[in-house]
Chains A and B, each alone.
Chain A
Amino acid sequence: MIGTLLDRFRGLKSFPRGIHPPHRKKLSEPRPIELFIPKGPLQVPMVQHLGAGCTPIVKPKQEVQYGEKIGDVEAFVSAPIHASVAGTTGAGIVAVLPSGRRVPAITLTPAAEGALPVGFLEQFLDRNWDGVEPTSFSPEAVVQGMRDQGIVGMGGATFPTHVKLKRDPNRPVDTVVLNGCECEPYLTADHRLMLESPEAIVVGLYLAMHAVGAKRAIIAIENNKPDAIEAMRRAALGRPGFEVAVCATSYPMGGERQLVWAVLGRTVPSAPKGLPLDVGVVMINCATAHCIARAVVRGMPLTHRVVTVTGRGVARPGNYLVPTGTLFSELIDHCGGLTDEVLKVVAGGPMMGPTVPHLNVPVVKGTSGITCMVDAETAHWVETPCIRCGKCVDNCPLHLSPTKIAHAVKFRDYAMANQYDMMACCECGCCAYVCPANIPLAQYIKAGKNQQRLMAAQNKK
């Protein structure tokens, strides 16, 4: 509370509670985005989004062009998959997603020559968007373009963007918030994109505004990225309704409930039902906005994304433009390989990212980073008794009582856990971060939520 007031006094957007983990962004922050073209076969999963999985529409041993659609499905909540390189398809396999989920995938061997169009990186980071008038596209065309080019939320949730941005007359949207907070430690992919291609992000944001009929756009960036704030300010100059909100560097600033409150003062109803849409807000990640511009204006599919490879466990950290389906192993090899001390490989950042058991895992649309952590930079969850210090309650950005929920889950009393609103948890991990007793609180709560979902599904049968 006092911290929030101080932030307000300094002119920063902020939210009460939350934590301040070490940033550790310096490892990869200064390194410009570099294109990576894999040599070996890619595993392109048919499920890279929330919703119905795609069916392959190519045969094995078929030549495919870059950007050709290779998987699609009729369902509304889904997104098609495109060939991320030109090459030859292989047999259908089962790939392990970074989340651990096993899904059908197509192997794709890149062509030796011309796997990607000439000048792909320059085209991807193209800063010349002059003369592009987003209002010349109809909202329907914008949404259709997103659906056709397979755009999903690239902050990690991978919810199909055309579903999120479809106009609903019953739930009008007045503001689109661009999430450029990147509050996860280590990750710098969004930061680099805002520095190197801010104009495309602004055009994408404008298209999103236009699609939902919002009059206002707020670009939210944490104050630890002054160069990105400056770049986005310049890119948004002269666009009516655009503003840049400088946010305090506080985790989880990029959480939708925290950010909507910080920049607009509106309270999004609790999960799992509540959405920013309930308070007239849509939030999109800056990488998503970048893709929207490329998809709608230039007809480019979502085949690549910027991935931060970082941590003390990898030889050459950096930010790479990577085709989806690229195996972690190949990308890490390109980065000089893992050091001997590596302990964990995290898909995403260290606060919310899942660990992968091995590197035979493909980069997908929601993979914002690969954090290779050595023993010294990770936490060790040696659980000791709860001393009821209340720090988890003090720091929970959703005002829950994590220790109560975790203990209920530990004793499998899910009714009790629900009494303490377990399902409202956003899994940000602040509770486990601050716990002096080293109790993996967030991990218990996540296990409880999974169990609750399983039981709910069983009850339906």
Chain B
Amino acid sequence: MREHGVLTFHDPTREETVTTSIPQVDSNAGSHGPEPDALTEAEAVEQADHFTRLSTEIGSAVLGKSDVVRLALVALMCEGHILLEDVPGVGKTTLARAIAAATDGSWRRIQFTPDLLPSDVTGVPVFNQDTREFTFHPGPVFSNVVIADEINRASPKTQAALLEVMEERQVTVDGERHVVPRPFLVVATQNPVEMDGTYRLPEAQLDRFLLRLSLGYPGPEAELAIMRGRRLTATDELKPVIDAAQLAGMSDAAERVHIHGAIYDYVLSLAHATRDHDEIQVGVSPRATVAIIRALRMFALSEGRHYSTPEDVKALAMPVWAHRLVLAPGSAISGRSPADVMRDILDHVPTPQPARIGDG
């Protein structure tokens, strides 16, 4: 087991005992107090450098998708889970594995099938002949990055088991709590095309994903490069470019990113717009507004800024919020997707005008 400053990464694949102690990062974060000092520009640039190194490393494995990679990294830094929704073969799993590899963390992949049981995900207690006691045998969720492939193929019971871990960050078996390692990131993938024999994720559970991303097809240049066999770096060959201390430093720095009052107002009026919109049955929840603010801080940091802008809000509103909207029956039938409605809202709610704020 390697020690990296304040954070311990566990790798169950190396047959190490799973610790149930609470990682130090939590106590560390708490020591900062409610009013962290404002981030300076220099610090922001320094943190952005980590981002750049990470995304360059991952970019060598996932070609031409730097914006999606950046968003995925933002989710990782915020410890928010990602729902990757796309057709097969565009590199969903590759992206997930690359993230895990580049951050020097452990990763496990679970292929969801209809006969997958909850205990296959969380782990089971096993009778130890030597000690004559039941020992908890941790499941695949006990790793830093969990790739839940085709999550909608499993039964709702199994889905619920995973989603519970995502929220609680712990597994309770036989009254014993088993805490999953930190950072903990679930990357669930979903195939929107083949819907036969699948179980749609309930809306309440979609709310637990910080981001829903879609990779999309690679650009023509990237696809040509892939075809020519100029093979990308295999995910196994990726070198960890950032250690746990640096990760902790980043989330610490993100806490200190300045968010102007006008930005809060803007997010609030966007949220109200989703709640009052005719085509939306259920707008975004307060959890969603908190989530977007969390993502905003990290997103600004990823660009080397120590303040966030309305552009950040616009960039994040779609991946953070679109999957949480429940359309009114009428508009769902007429073929409008939540993303369309979200785009509509973004196009109509006035942004904070920088000239007015800067003037006054």
Does B bind A? no
Interface residues of A (CB under 8 A from B): none
